[in-house]
Amino acid sequence: MSTNRRPMFNVFRKVKFDDSIEKIEWRTYYPYTRSFRNNDVIEIVINQSTLFDATYDSQLLMSGKITKTGDGDVSFVNNAAAFMFSSVKYVLGGGSKEMELVQDTGIVSTVRSYLCYTPEDSNHLAISGWNFPNSSKLNPDVTFSFLIPLKHFFNIFNDYRTVKCGMQTFTFTRANNDANCFPSKKRRPPVILREKRPLLDYNVLKERTLFVIDCSRRDENERPSTVDVRLEIEAAQGFPENTKAYCIIIHDCIMEYLRLDNIVNNLKA
């Protein structure tokens, strides 16, 4: 008769050292262009063939100064840094294989943060411009500085936490205007319902609503090859003018990265 016993901790064994990683350091990469005006395309390229980059823990530093055209106080909305971009893109390898493309960066990152972040996450991301339920603060001289984890924009770095070598390209497209970065009486953030500890207030659900439909538990045989979504909304009263509705679809995508050849193959989309 045999029994399964957990291995005992041997306090007399020799100490083992992991020397596989010789050195870890932070490196700074600058964009090719020095123009950060509206509609500008900002590209940052990482091309290292001898170093392994932990891109999933990388951060984006943004700093600048607000130019006031009138009297009064100036303040940012929550997640203002994300609303400065209309889209962000991450390309891995020497070709043009897009690993992730995020349109409407401010809306997408805000909704995903409401779903995934806890109150502790919000406190830790205050330096990134995510200060919910408060707004981002400006310095007395109307300057700002944000240090944003790339995983706040790119969800791939929350799932694929592996060091990489070779060419990586980040493309940030500035928004055509920065109106969404500043408070407006007509702009209201959405509110969601979720289990564990909710990040937002339940009492304002009727005015600021976000619906979440989770289809991840469906049978694989019932999943179609293409994504076909149709949403119908009925209301007792007509919607106000200039009302916008956003639909964000998050789906799985399996890829294969061949490091030696610097090639990315799409296995399942």
Q: Is residue 236 part of a domain?
A: yes
Q: How far is Cα 117 from Cα 45, in angstroms, rounded to an integer?
A: 29
Banded pLDDT at 7 (limits 50, 70, 90): low
Q: Is residue 14 part of a domain?
A: no
* 140-154, 163-177, 219-233, 237-251: least confidently modelled range: 219-233
- Residue-wise pLDDT for 106-135, tens only, equals 999 988 888 788 878 888 888 898 887 777
Q: Stretch 195-199: mean pLDDT, rounded?
A: 57
Q: Residue 207's pLDDT is what?
A: 60
Q: Is residue 8 part of a domain?
A: no
Range of 9-23, 91-105, 119-133, 169-183 with top mean pLDDT: 169-183
* pLDDT for 194 beyond 90: no
DSSP for residue 168: E
Q: Is residue 171 part of a domain?
A: yes
* pLDDT for 47 beyond 60: yes
Q: Residue 105's pLDDT is what?
A: 94
For residue 82, the enclosing domain spans 41-217+229-268
Q: Stretch 157-163: mean pLDDT, rounded?
A: 84
Q: How far is Cα 43 from Cα 32, in angstroms, rounded to an integer?
A: 6
3-state helix, strand, coil in the chain (%, to 5): 15, 25, 60
Residue 108, φ and ψ in degrees, nearest 5: -65, -50
Q: Is residue 48 part of a domain?
A: yes
Residue holding tokens 């060419």? 167
**Tokens (6 digits) for 86:** 């209309």
Q: How far is Cα 121 from Cα 131, in angstroms, rounded to an integer?
A: 10
Contact 104, 86 (CB under 8 A): yes
Which carries the bigger pLDDT value, residue 73 or residue 260?
A: 73
Q: How far is Cα 165 from Cα 49, in angstroms, rounded to an integer?
A: 6
Percent of the chain with pLDDT over 90: 20
Q: Give me the number of domains the chain comprises.
A: 1
End-to-end CA distance of the chain: 49
Contact 128, 147 (CB under 8 A): yes
Contacts of 197 (CB under 8 A, 6+ apart): 118, 119
DSSP for residue 181: G
Range of 43-52, 115-124, 146-155, 192-201 with top mean pLDDT: 146-155
Banded pLDDT at 65 (limits 50, 70, 90): confident
DSSP for residue 56: G
Strands 59-65, 143-149: pairing is: antiparallel
* Whole-prediction pTM: 0.75
